[in-house]
Amino acid sequence: MEQTLKTAPPISEVWEKRPLIISGPCSAETEEQVLQTATRLAKTGKVHALRAGIWKPRTRPGSFEGIGTKGLPWLQQAKKLTGLPLAVEVATGKQVEDALHFDIDILWVGARTTVNPFSVQEVADALRGANVPVLIKNPINPDLELWIGAVERVSKAGIKNIGLIHRGFSSYGNTEYRNAPMWHLAIEMKRRNPGMMIINDPSHICGRRDILMDVAQKAIDLDFDGLMIESHIDPDNAWSDAKQQVTPERLAEMLNEIVWRKEDINSEAYHQALEKLRQQINHLDDELLQLLGQRMKIADKIGEFKKNNSITILQTNRWNEILERAYQKGDKLGLTREFITKYFDAVHMESINHQNRIMNS
Ligand code: PEP
Ligand code: MN
């Protein structure tokens, strides 16, 4: 069959796409699978880069650990056929060399690599002098410093275009998600790296395809710059991560269903209305802080009282009573149990710290 060849757009242009959409199989398995996935993804017209795992860091030995370097020419071929630039995960210096040798356009550091500063440094050293964008996934454990450390190592190697991928954090016994999103950590990472692109990887957060949409939508609502979603021509028979992959056509449907939002609009009326509401929020926050200050002053008095009577700070019954009251009131006010628990935990700890200071002064 006669096939026309396509040229991929310059990677600097692709890097600027918003929302940036990267998709492709968890793993490159066969040449046929790579080419078919790429062709079907390109046909959707909604994907900016093709991803495929070549070297797979698997939790348990005996699983498919990736096709290795021999899969890189398949990707090159896919790029020629579709014009889609390529993204590949790298975890060692040798993998960086091989990927660059085969003209991979975007490299990403996987979650199992970001946890290990030795590995990240090895990758960074191999990147020195290369002009390739690098995406850095969050480490599997919820540790922002490791994530930031990886960004710093890659940046010090002279890489200019660095982006982040939020793929969730592993936690023992979590049932709903394969990796808990812990959105607050991604939000904090965004705050600490203003201007740095951050995309979301719903596939590795969810671990199952039925809830991908919810997570993808949430990421867009939180102003993420794009999505990396795994796709496969025959998801159920994928050699890795079978449960979370979707067909290229299903991916296109999902991207159609997502409500895309922007951070800001230029309308004066919108800004005025928003400003009014924000002032109300500031006002209420000020009042809450005042009240919390007063609450702690009373805690100090209780601390004095407990000290004078030699009784313990923690009174478990009283703590249960506080929580129970709060759950009931919170319920009527539309506040979730999860929020009430977190909020009262924090308030209670602050109160204990205050009493502790008094007791030991
Ligand atoms: C992957 O993208 O296929 C992968 C291995 O992801 P992570 O590093 O997030 O586990
Ligand atoms: Mn995967």
What is the spatial distance between Cα 75 and Cα 102, in angstroms, rounded to a whole number? Answer: 9
Tell which atom from ligand 1 comes closest to the C-alpha of 53.
Answer: 3
Strand 134-137 to strand 49-51: parallel, antiparallel, or no bridges (unpaired)? unpaired
Q: Which domains does the chain have, with CATH numbers?
A: 11-257 (3.20.20.70), 268-359 (1.20.59.10)
What is 70-90 written as a DSSP string?
A: GGHHHHHHHHHHH---EEEE-
167 Cα to the center of ligand 1, angstroms: 8
pLDDT of 132-151, one tens digit each?
999 999 999 999 999 999 99
User: Is 166 in contact with 193 (CB distance < 8 Å)?
Assistant: no
136 Cα to the center of ligand 2, angstroms: 15
316 Cα to the center of ligand 1, angstroms: 43
What is the spatial distance between Cα 127 and Cα 76, in angstroms, rounded to a whole number? Answer: 20
The structure's pTM equals: 0.88
110 lines ligand 1 (CB under 6 A): yes
What is the spatial distance between Cα 38 and Cα 31, in angstroms, rounded to a whole number? Answer: 11
CA 25, 206, 151, 91 torsion-angle sign: negative
Ligand at shortest distance from the CA of 135:
1
Ligand at shortest distance from the CA of 228:
1
User: Is 118 in contact with 149 (CB distance < 8 Å)?
Assistant: no
Ligand at shortest distance from the CA of 245:
2
What is the spatial distance between Cα 102 and Cα 74, in angstroms, rounded to a whole number? Answer: 10
Strand 86-89 to strand 106-109: parallel, antiparallel, or no bridges (unpaired)? parallel
85 lines ligand 1 (CB under 6 A): no
Residue-by-residue pLDDT tens, the chain, 361 positions: 557 899 999 999 999 999 999 999 999 999 999 999 999 999 999 999 999 999 998 888 888 999 999 999 999 999 999 999 999 999 999 999 999 999 999 999 999 999 999 999 999 999 999 999 999 999 999 999 999 999 999 999 999 999 999 999 998 876 799 999 999 999 999 999 999 999 999 999 999 999 999 999 999 999 999 999 999 999 999 999 999 999 999 999 999 999 998 877 888 999 999 999 999 999 999 999 999 999 999 999 999 999 999 998 888 899 999 999 999 999 999 999 999 999 999 999 999 999 999 989 8
Tell which atom from ligand 1 comes closest to the C-alpha of 165.
Answer: 9
Q: What is the largest CA-CA distance in the chain?
A: 91
9 Cα to the center of ligand 2, angstroms: 26
24 Cα to the center of ligand 2, angstroms: 10
User: Is 180 in contact with 140 (CB distance < 8 Å)?
Assistant: no
Tell which atom from ligand 1 comes closest to the C-alpha of 167.
Answer: 9
Secondary structure E strands in 134-253: 134-137, 162-166, 197-200, 226-230
User: Is 153 in contact with 121 (CB distance < 8 Å)?
Assistant: yes
Ligand at shortest distance from the CA of 241:
2
pLDDT of 344-355, one tens digit each?
999 999 999 999
Residue type, 289: L
Q: What is the reported pLDDT for 62?
A: 87
110 Cα to the center of ligand 1, angstroms: 5
Using CA positions, which residue lies closest to atom 9 of ligand 1? 111
